[in-house]
Structure 1
Amino acid sequence: MTTPVRTDLDAYRIAVAELPESAVASLGMEGAVTVVSGGGAWWAVASDAITAGAAAVVVAQPAVAPSEALDALASLAGATPVIVQRPLLRADVVAAVGASIQKLPAPGALAVECHAPARTLGPALRDAIGWARVIAGAPLAPGVTESWGGRVLALLESARGSAVSIVAAAQPGAPSLGRARITSIAQARVEVDADLDTVACVTDAAGRSILPALFESPERVALRRAIAAVRAAEPLSDLADLRHDTALAAALLSAPPA
């Protein structure tokens, strides 16, 4: 059984070709998993796809969206799955990290470092906050924030009591999509270095374990998740997580200069 996929993006056309038993290219949106580019007003394009009857929508590397636009998209989507392929927050790596730390207590604190060229600092900080949310195991709430000269220093707190410190800065020489480093301060230390490739490890009394490298393309991961969501008719948290992380990143970046 194959699921129709509508896309104009070459990387996703390749992903469709690599999944011949589960995906087939489609020219129409109705009843198909529809892939939209994350550039420009992608939320409007995603909304149009849902209105046209898409079975699911995949957003490829979304730019920062206004919080009110994400709220409207969530309201329109309803039971239609929206899968978000985020540059520094790969879903398969998130799942692997989550499985490795699910039995650990919430960390006492997290240190988050994020740097990116000025034009991509917003998405990079948003994804860095997403990693902090994953490792803390709970939503985050804003605390004290200061900004100066394109740099942000903030202290957040998770619903499970973890203190989260964030340092973010625009840096011309940073990777084009940015880079995020997250370290938990706990008896069992979790470290994530998110770049074009993401490395995650857990260090405890037994030693240091590096999670296996994942070689599947992020486009194929996103497509598989979308097809699975359509077939299982189960909601995903991608859009809710994106709304949470976007709102916090916007609050940090809009803080008045110190």
Structure 2
Amino acid sequence: MIGVVAEVESYRVAVAELPLSTRLADDRAGAIVVVEGTARWCDGVRAAAEAGAAAVVVSRPVAVGAELVEALVADLGSLPVLIERPFLRHDTVADLRRVRDADAARPAVVAVDAVAAASTFDVVLRDAIGWLRVLSGGRPTLKAAGDGTALIETADGGSGPAVLTAVRVLAGSDRVNALSLGEVRAEIDASEAGGVVSTTTPIGRTTLPRRHESHERLTLRRALDAVAGGSATTDLAELAEDAHLAALVSRGIPRL
């Protein structure tokens, strides 16, 4: 059993849901430390690392400069840092990769649409770009952007062209819809409620069940696995990559 230091109430609930492996604690040394994703969350991660945390969980981090996240990647070494990204859930990504194992060829086209309120737009855009990265299978680079649309190409043997559209709205539910076209057609519908993966092949269409585990419990379980396995995670590096591209794309999106 490992201690969890969490001031975020939803994570205290998640600890209660994992009574055989976690307990609430006050001492950050050797514990999983939950950092609230406010504007200074990078400082919170550094403070937890300096206090001797075994792992750090960042709860719904707001968008910050990619250079700040990159500095964390460079400075923290092998410390596991898990990022809660509601519109880019780790289990939904795992579902997609599992059903696409049979697809030897990269998708020919990737398209991702993001719709979000102004207050949450930067975070949703960042997660939408994360889906573009996952679906394309390569490193996305921006070719052109304007009026809420971006043309992306991928290096490292990734997919063909990718298109991202992003729209700010005054009201309504935040949502990311993603599509990849190839030997397997894959569709992702990601919202606050979770993600749904659907695939279409010559033999028919399959829709996987929506995951109902809370975002907090999922992220905390991943932190437990990282501590038990003694392995670093790629969450921070992926967040930095997505944040960098999101900043470039957002310059071509009209503000309300």
Query: TM-score, structure 2 length as denominator?
Result: 0.94
CA distance in 2, matches of 1:219, 1:81: 16
SS at 1:230 equivalent: helix
SS at 1:43 equivalent: helix
Q: Does 1:130 align with 2:130?
A: yes
Tell me the alpha carbon deviations over residues 74-133 of structure 1, each in whole angstroms, 9 at most, x when there is no partner: 122111000000020111111111111123121011111111111211110110111111
Q: Hey, what does 1:193 align to over in structure 2?
A: 189
Q: Does 1:205 align with 2:196?
A: no
CA distance in 2, matches of 1:46, 1:254: 28
Q: Does 1:166 align with 2:141?
A: no
Alignment of 1:60-209 (within 5 A): 60-104=59-103, 105-147=105-147, 152-159=148-155, 160-175=158-173, 178-197=174-193, 198-209=195-206
Q: Considering only aligned residues, what root-mean-square deviation do their CA atoms show, in Å?
A: 1.4
Give unpaired runs (5+ residues) of structure 2.
Answer: none
1:215 CA drift (Å): 1.4
Letter aligned with residue 174 of structure 1: G
SS at 1:173 equivalent: coil
Letter aligned with residue 162 of structure 1: G
Letter aligned with residue 199 of structure 2: V
Q: Which runs of 4+ in 1 moved over 6 A?
A: none
Give unpaired runs (5+ residues) of structure 1.
Answer: none
SS at 1:83 equivalent: strand
Letter aligned with residue 201 of structure 2: D
SS at 1:170 equivalent: strand
Letter aligned with residue 48 of structure 1: A
Q: Hey, what does 2:245 align to over in structure 1?
A: 248
SS at 2:120 equivalent: helix
Letter aligned with residue 119 of structure 1: S
1:255 CA drift (Å): 3.8
Identity %: 36
1:71 CA drift (Å): 1.4
CA distance in 2, matches of 1:102, 1:41: 39
1:256 CA drift (Å): 8.5
CA distance in 1, matches of 2:77, 2:146: 37
CA distance in 2, matches of 1:47, 1:165: 36
CA distance in 2, matches of 1:234, 1:192: 29
Letter aligned with residue 150 of structure 2: A
1:169 CA drift (Å): 1.1
1:247 CA drift (Å): 0.5
CA distance in 2, matches of 1:144, 1:123: 21
Query: TM-score, structure 1 length as denominator?
Result: 0.93
Letter aligned with residue 82 of structure 1: V
Equivalent residue for 1:235, pick from 227, 232, 255? 232
Tell me the alpha carbon deviations over residues 139-163 of structure 1, each in whole angstroms, 9 at most, x when there is no partner: 211111113xxxx210101221321
Q: Hey, what does 1:56 align to over in structure 2?
A: 55
SS at 2:196 equivalent: strand
CA distance in 2, matches of 1:182, 1:24: 38
SS at 2:233 equivalent: coil
